[in-house]
Amino acid sequence: MRYRLLGGVRVSTVGLGAMPLSIEGRPDEARALATVHAALDAGVTLLDTADSYHLPGQDPGHNELLLARALAAYGGATDDVLVATKGGRGRPADGSWTVTGSPRHLKAAAEASRRRLGVEAIGLYQLHKPDPDVPFEDSVGALHELLDAGTIRLAGLSNVTTDQIHRARAILGDRLVSVQNRYSPEARGSEPELRLCAELGLAFLPWSPLGGISRSSLDGPSGPADGTARFAAFHEVARERRVSPQQVCLAWLSAKSPTVIPIPGASRPETVRDSASGADLVLSGEELARLDGALITPRSRS
């Protein structure tokens, strides 16, 4: 396993997105715990969760509680594991994803997450999504207060724009350490945010990083994605290297910037072991150019 820095903390180059362990189609408890333990065995030290990762209208905080149990039951050392959680979204019974970014809600949510995780302070706490009905500076101000109170150690943002990153930096300074946006071969709309994070030295945590190679848990049952010609190059390089296309995808992402730390989801031990192996795969310049070239659409060439 190779490592990178997140807010001065040394973490694995590939993390674990724990959401699939708690939402629709989730595995039973034994397999879920085995999946987290397999990640830790493979050297993964960044675990990503959120208070809203649970079944619609049921088991609030399920994923945070699950990770706390997994860490407590692990037979090895866990002192170097950074648990990153998020607040500001909800999952009512209708299965939708709500957004609540008021300072009062965020501060209460962070305290509830801290208790569920069983820690004195949350390692990394992230605003899950800006609330269009709440001034962005108010939501970020709540992160500032949580930092000052010692409830959280590091602060991050998720699903934000470059403008919002700059505005948050004006409030948090160097205590803003990460941005978590969707980014993958299939979803590359956050290129500007990825570049800005590289310039500012902020960790960029792509969620659903295997899009185009595997389906996201948000898009349906996990498994291979419906292949298109655009993503064939990832499979070709994988065959040549005798690794999985997912490992090639993670290596491609890691090569984008030294601040990129993908957090692929997993619900089985074998899946998380495969993803962790992607941290050690280094692609050549020719291979990276080949993958990037395959993703260029006719419109973007004009």
Strands (E), the chain: 3-6, 9-12, 16-17, 46-48, 82-87, 89-90, 98-99, 122-127, 152-158, 176-180, 203-204
User: CB within 8 A of 243, min separation 6: which ones?
Assistant: 277, 278, 281
**Phi-psi region for residue 88, left (φ > 0), alpha (ψ -120 to 50) or beta?**
left
Q: Sign of dihedral through CA atoms 19, 197, 44, 262?
A: positive
**Among 3, 53, 74, 125, which one carries the catalytic annotation?**
53
What is the SS3 assignment for 238?
helix
Is 53 catalytic? The answer is yes
Q: What letter does residue 190 receive in the DSSP assignment? A: T
Any idea which residue has 């995808």 for tokens?
249
**Residues with catalytic annotation?**
53
